[in-house]
Structure 1
Amino acid sequence: MNIATIFRSVVLAVTLGAPLITLAQAADAPILRATVYNSHLPEASKGGEAWNGITVAHDGTVYYVLSSPEYNSAGQMYSFNPKTKAVTHIADLNDVVGQGKTKAVAQGKSHVSFVEHKGKLYFSTHLGYYKHAEGVERTADAPDGYAPYPGGHFVSYDLATGKFENLGIAPRGEGIITMNLDTQRERLYGITWPTGHFLTYDLKTRSGIKDLGTLFHGGETGELGKDYRSICRRIVIDPRDGTAYFSTPDGAIHRYHYDTETIDTLDGITLKKDYFGTLDPTQHGMAYNWRAAVWDPAKNVIYGVNGRSGYLFQINPNAGSFKLLERLTSEPSKASGMLDQFEYGYLGLVLAADGHTLYYLTGAPLPGKTPASGPGHREGAHLITYDLAAHKYQDHGLILLENGQPASAPQSLAVAEDGTVYTLCYVARAGRRVIELISFHP
């Protein structure tokens, strides 16, 4: 059974079949109570998905995208006003890029963290419609009467006027699964799915998307055991000189040089560490890629997490140093000795506005359940913080929804200045599994 199917089985078990988790069941463990907001995602999206696609803007407004796995239903963008608690539908992603009602596979996702710059949000679009073969997700053939997916787009959204601008489309009909923006030099970066081509787009010259090729062998369309390689989900930018860093599943760290527009490999540092386990980059899973990573402008270092093991590490590119810091898995996972259910790991890693607190969302076995692996295991979600100054790890506990169900499958994270945490996760409503925005405060 492939990992996507396992993940969805876990989610279904948690949201539709799991008993309510009560304080009595988890009296010795902290609990975070979350509020759920109804986005009214169209039923055609079949409950939706969510992978990144969230940010808190300068005025505190939360912007997010709920994705769709259906070929004929696009992802939807929303805003949430924390003062009025109002959710507003902003746009259909097909309409955003000018695809409209064209009978082509939909712009199903935004798989990236938004970046705010000069009054605009920048993000990219991606496909949500796949097939499963050889235990992995592959690009699906378009159904009869529909054209293939045309490609993901770089997009901007003007916060004042509400207008979108389509900045360009990825080549070869691939989605843009990874994106970041160098706000000082105004250059966008992206990595495509499934073959992992590195893209750039200059906001100053508007000269179009440049394709610098791939370092991912066959990417996620490759043959398992041979040229298959998972695509890095985070590009990290050094604001001092514009260098953009990304990883490959063999543990190499690559860097794009702004001045020369070339890519090389960082010497002397590898993410292939014994502590992370024995991982095969030719099999599905993130292997030695960082699953999530952020830049620390105070120390000029990268903080990243290995998805399979949950270990947090620090990289100083200029010094050529690597330092293992702490395992960010939940206390229940540590106590049971189990690996978390989702072997890709978790994308929710944020450096807070205070400059020294990392927030991280991770999985955990539910109270009273025997740790196990496989599709029958049910997993909750915990919020972890790590104080970089004090070197202090803290598990803030299991996240419970208003109906007593555990939050499940959070793969997005945004933290407001007042410490309110936002994520997108599965909830049960009227017998259906749906993705919604939730908030809580540790």
Structure 2
Amino acid sequence: MNSPVHAQSFRVPKPFASGNWGGLSVIGKQAFFGLCSHRVDENVTLCVYEDGTPAVRRLPALDDILAPEAGAVAHGKIHTPFRVIGRRAYFGTHLGYYRRDLQGRRPYPGGHLVCIHLDDDLRLEDLGILQPGEGIISLEVDAEREQVYLFTWPRTDLLRYDCRTGEVRHLGNFRHSDTSDTCCRAPVFVDGHLLFCTGDGAVHAWSRDQECFRRFDRDMQSVVLEAALRQGWSLPEDLAPASAADIPAVAQALAAQPGWSRLYHPAIADAGQSAALVLTNTSSCLLRLHPRTGRIDPVEQVCIAANRGRYDVGTSTSLTLTRTPDGRLYHIGTELFGAADDPKIRARLVRYDPVRQEVADLGRIRTDDGREVIYLQTLDHFPDGRLVGAGLVDLPHTQHAAFLATTPAKVDVGIRAQTNPYEMRLLVIDPVQALS
């Protein structure tokens, strides 16, 4: 068993918030993130932590932007990263309450596109609701042309906002059915193309110059299955192809199943290759996507030691991938234990060294006050390579009653909060010193 990875932790304004669903980014020495809520009447809380300071700050200006919509379904989440154009950072709001019963409130008004003026005391500017009734589920920018690309939910519309003119253009719709179509945290802009995936496992590229879409010839599940077969992975009986010739049929069967396992989550530009690096939710496979050729190259399985060599469509991963200045990639793996149908979980730090082509499971993460990290939902890094994330730490028994009184939402798909009582913290990890 590895020694624990040590993390410096900071308390947040709402310790029993419903998580941090993708909305954390480091800009210079500041980490911006949202504390989410699944309540019908509670908006997301915008926070910032400045490196070297003792505490996380709340930015109440977002409350003022959202206040006029009191009485409607709340903006429970920031589900997007914070992306920079010049000295402005852009993010979107999203709903956190998904039930049909609106509890007497008006329907969700639609997500706001918001700009943070980084050189003006973090002043917030409301750019408005770009599509009424639709939340903003993911976002990316073309900094050169000062344009913001964003996907909406539930329609899965792709919109482009021009920061110079304020023009909003509808580029396409990617909804296929009633479930599993979200382009969830997936867009990345690289080599003049916007890359993203849909819930059927397909990868798409929008060409900025040609202004057209291209669907890659192969889907992600086929690529992962082929790598699994070639490398002799352990496959479930109902998914095990007898040979490479059977892969298309097996991949088609997978496409009919619920779609979370076919998405990739964070994506980062791999500029030296004119490509993007993405990590799949199925089996934690690192893939390289080439927008101009439509090629998908498997790189490595970046996961905890217990899942190496396994094809896993369960909750074995988290929404995390970042590359530090030394070129190494870091990911948060999820260790499950206890009852199979109601597991407990713990976060583990995983590192991939592309030069040595080595994956290392560095161990469970523990805070400076001795608390184990249950789940780390986001990961970025400061300029010096220290990792930053917002996540859940285990809760002492004396605080369980207060936590359960908030009627907490799930930790993640298939992971009950009642089995994993938590409070939220901001965590800073030095990957060099963490293991010493």
TM superposition score normalised by structure 1: 0.80
Identify the match of residue 157 of structure 1 among 104, 109, 116: 116
Query: Aligned residue for 1:147?
Result: 106
* Equivalent residues of 1:237, 1:244 under 8 A apart: yes
CA–CA distance in structure 2, aligned partners of residues 152 and 383 of structure 1:
33
* Equivalent residues of 1:294, 1:350 under 8 A apart: yes
**Secondary structure of the structure 2 residue equivalent to 1:362:** strand
CA–CA distance in structure 1, aligned partners of residues 392 and 142 of structure 2:
32
Displacement, 1:379? Answer: 1.5
Equivalence map 1:299-314=2 (5 Å): 299-314=273-288
Q: Deviations over 1:210-267 (max 9, x none)?
A: 223322312xxx16xxxx53434210111x42x111112333221112234432323x
Question: How has the CA–CA distance of structure 1 residues 180 and 296 changed in structure 2, closer, same or farther, with 3 Å as cutoff?
Answer: same
Instruction: Provide the alpha-carbon RMSD of the alignment.
Output: 2.4
**Secondary structure of the structure 2 residue equivalent to 1:109:** coil
Query: Aligned residue for 1:293?
Result: 267
1:40 pairs with 2:13: yes
Query: Aligned residue for 1:373?
Result: 340
Q: Deviations over 1:272-315 (max 9, x none)?
A: 32257756334434243323322111221111111021111112
1:237 pairs with 2:189: yes
Query: Aligned residue for 2:94?
Result: 126
Displacement, 1:388? Answer: 2.0
* Equivalent residues of 2:149, 2:160 under 8 A apart: yes
Equivalence map 1:24-423=2 (5 Å): 28-41=1-14, 47-58=17-28, 60-91=29-60, 93-96=62-65, 98-100=66-68, 102-131=70-99, 140-144=100-104, 146-161=105-120, 162-207=122-167, 209-218=168-177, 222=178, 229-238=181-190, 240-241=191-192, 243-266=193-216, 268-273=217-222, 274=225, 275=227, 278=239, 280-334=254-308, 339=312, 342=315, 345-354=317-326, 356-365=327-336, 369=337, 373-375=340-342, 377-423=343-389
CA–CA distance in structure 1, aligned partners of residues 126 and 209 of structure 2:
26
CA–CA distance in structure 2, aligned partners of residues 326 and 379 of structure 1:
24
* Equivalent residues of 2:31, 2:49 under 8 A apart: yes
AA matched with 1:350: T
CA–CA distance in structure 2, aligned partners of residues 332 and 441 of structure 1:
24
**Secondary structure of the structure 2 residue equivalent to 1:286:** helix
Displacement, 1:403? Answer: 4.5
Question: How has the CA–CA distance of structure 1 residues 215 and 250 changed in structure 2, closer, same or farther, with 3 Å as cutoff?
Answer: same
Question: How has the CA–CA distance of structure 1 residues 232 and 80 changed in structure 2, closer, same or farther, with 3 Å as cutoff?
Answer: closer
CA–CA distance in structure 1, aligned partners of residues 279 and 56 of structure 2:
32
CA–CA distance in structure 1, aligned partners of residues 32 and 319 of structure 2:
17
- What is the number of equivalent residue pairs in this alignment? 382
TM superposition score normalised by structure 2: 0.81
**Secondary structure of the structure 2 residue equivalent to 1:73:** coil
Q: Which has the higher helix share?
A: 2
AA matched with 2:347: A
**Secondary structure of the structure 2 residue equivalent to 1:272:** helix
**Secondary structure of the structure 1 residue equivalent to 2:300:** strand
Q: Which runs of 5+ in 2 are unaligned?
A: 229-234, 240-252, 404-421, 432-436
Displacement, 1:348? Answer: 0.8
AA matched with 2:109: P
* Equivalent residues of 1:312, 1:325 under 8 A apart: yes
Task: Name the stretch that deviates more: 64-73 or 254-263.
Answer: 254-263
Question: How has the CA–CA distance of structure 1 residues 177 and 101 changed in structure 2, closer, same or farther, with 3 Å as cutoff?
Answer: closer
* Equivalent residues of 1:281, 1:287 under 8 A apart: no
Q: Which runs of 5+ in 1 are unaligned?
A: 1-27, 132-139
Query: Aligned residue for 2:250?
Result: none
AA matched with 2:116: Y
**Equivalent pairs: percent with the same residue?**
26
Question: How has the CA–CA distance of structure 1 residues 332 and 413 changed in structure 2, closer, same or farther, with 3 Å as cutoff?
Answer: same
Question: How has the CA–CA distance of structure 1 residues 174 and 280 changed in structure 2, closer, same or farther, with 3 Å as cutoff?
Answer: farther
CA–CA distance in structure 1, aligned partners of residues 48 and 265 of structure 2:
26
* Equivalent residues of 2:390, 2:426 under 8 A apart: yes
Q: Deviations over 1:165-206 (max 9, x none)?
A: 122324241111111111111111111112211111111221
Question: How has the CA–CA distance of structure 1 residues 341 and 248 changed in structure 2, closer, same or farther, with 3 Å as cutoff?
Answer: closer
Query: Aligned residue for 1:8?
Result: none
Question: How has the CA–CA distance of structure 1 residues 211 and 181 changed in structure 2, closer, same or farther, with 3 Å as cutoff?
Answer: same
Displacement, 1:77? Answer: 1.0
